[in-house]
Chains A and B, each alone.
Chain A
């Protein structure tokens, strides 16, 4: 149901993608599809069913803006919502009224605050999505069953339904960081303000407050880095790799126009965008854009000893996050990386990336391995069980912590990037 997917995306256009908004988006989508299927099953024609389905939800602004207000009262403010779903004119009227509260159009930075507030506001909320298996509902075998399997590397889409109650702190941080990145991107380019240094998506890699950054990170190209405290390392001006520089120096303003210009339907723009993202020095290419499956396939070529695997993972995770934040974004990003030094070309569908899933990131990987396929899906990025699976509101304890997470780069922590990349890596 591509039309419904696009319709839902359209409903949420310009919204800050808080965890709550993302969940609501998926929930609405699921229900719209159910409604559509039901109409069809009753014999309604495709286009009628589609029109009628879309008419059932025409505006989510009231819903999102009103979440907090509505906590207090019961039912009193339902009128606005029904108006929104009913007559458009009424919906507009209500929207004007509520803009004062939401401030989403007037003060854009405020929009981000509102978004943050939305997350924070839930810190006392009952935990949702705790995967106790349901009774009598067609639900999660996976949740009660093979937890470990779900958490294994490998499968992309399906494993994203890993149980949430698994105390996987790393997943949690990945979630926060990845989602933070999305939120920052969404806000920033909807708003048209470039990210300033402090709020950069990109790493302040050796930020002294970034206590979780592994100390051995990035040390592979510099033998003595292991022995030094991170701060010293940061200040010593040790040479950064090309990818590191790109990751750290890129500003949203540099790519904003390309994000806005659309990805799926604009091949030239996509190529331009890729050329401005980390890893561009590796000669990336757009292999395929499939509108039907909303898939973009990219390829990166490199010489094994010229690129640090962790850097590469970081770039891929970062770039995927960026692409999925663009206008007309893909739902799937497939990336084939190819080590040219191993003598094999990229450009096939990545099918010969077999058995590379266990590549060791310390550089001691299988020497025969030459190509790898990564499959990043939007579900991984957005679903409560994907990268963001642990983005439960209560996790965000303080505004400071939230700010920190928003500022944190996706790529600050090599372990986390590895975790994401590991999830995306296709085992064949």
Chain B
């Protein structure tokens, strides 16, 4: 349990990027984003709703996503989000940051990751 929490902490530092990535597939709303994240991680990571809201608000304020209300005519309305151009750039940057950090951590922890290194070198 403690190990899992520690893993969650590591992941949590990238929560905004994860949300951006999910939204980059298509516009979506809160619960659907959570489901997408759970599915994409194959159940390895389950984001909590409050974390998601916090992330969404933060991304929105930074101009990386925009919210708008859906037009459900029946039942509860849903608030959708879309990625802005700035958000798309940020996602690219975040992915780059993550790859570099992962490489450094791999090196520091003594697991040279040839694949990651060469892949990074070969990018663009």
Contact = CB atoms under 8 A, between A and B. Distances in A.
Interface of A: 1, 23-24, 26-35, 38, 56-57, 59-60, 62-63, 66-67, 70-71, 74-75, 77-79, 81-82, 84-86, 122, 125-132, 134-143, 158, 161, 383-385
B13 interface: yes
B8 to A, nearest CB: 8
B30 A126 contact: no
B22 interface: no
Contacts of A30: 29-30, 76-79
Contacts, number: 149
A395 to B, nearest CB: 16
B26 A126 contact: no
Most chain B CB within 10 A, of A32, A125, A126, is at A126
A77 B58 CA distance: 12
Q: What are the 8 A-B residue pairs with the smallest beta carbon separation, nearest first? A: A81-B50, A31-B30, A137-B27, A34-B31, A126-B63, A33-B76, A27-B79, A30-B78
B80 interface: yes
A139 B61 contact: no
Interface residues of B, number: 43
Contact of A63 (B12, B54, B78): B54
Contacts of B60: 125-126, 128
Interface of B: 8-9, 12-16, 26-32, 35, 48-51, 53-54, 57-58, 60-63, 66-73, 75-80, 82, 84
Contacts of B28: 137
Contact of B66 (A38, A71, A85, A126): A126
13 contacts: A1-B75, A29-B76, A34-B78, A67-B57, A70-B57, A78-B51, A78-B54, A126-B60, A129-B66, A136-B26, A140-B71, A143-B71, A383-B77
Binding site of B, secondary structure by majority: helix, strand, loop or mixed?
mixed
A75 B55 CA distance: 8
B68 A143 contact: yes
Contact of A86 (B48, B61, B70): B48
A127 B51 CA distance: 22
A384 B67 CA distance: 11
Nearest to A142: B71
A88 to B, nearest CB: 13
A161 B67 contact: no
Given A31-B31, A34-B31, A78 B12 contact: yes
A78 B45 CA distance: 15
A24 B53 contact: yes
Contact of A81 (B13, B14, B48): B48
Contacts of A28: 30, 49, 53
Most chain A CB within 10 A, of B35, B66, B68, is at B68
Contacts of B30: 27-28, 30-31, 34
A21 to B, nearest CB: 12
Given A1-B76, A74-B16, A126-B62, A31 B49 contact: yes
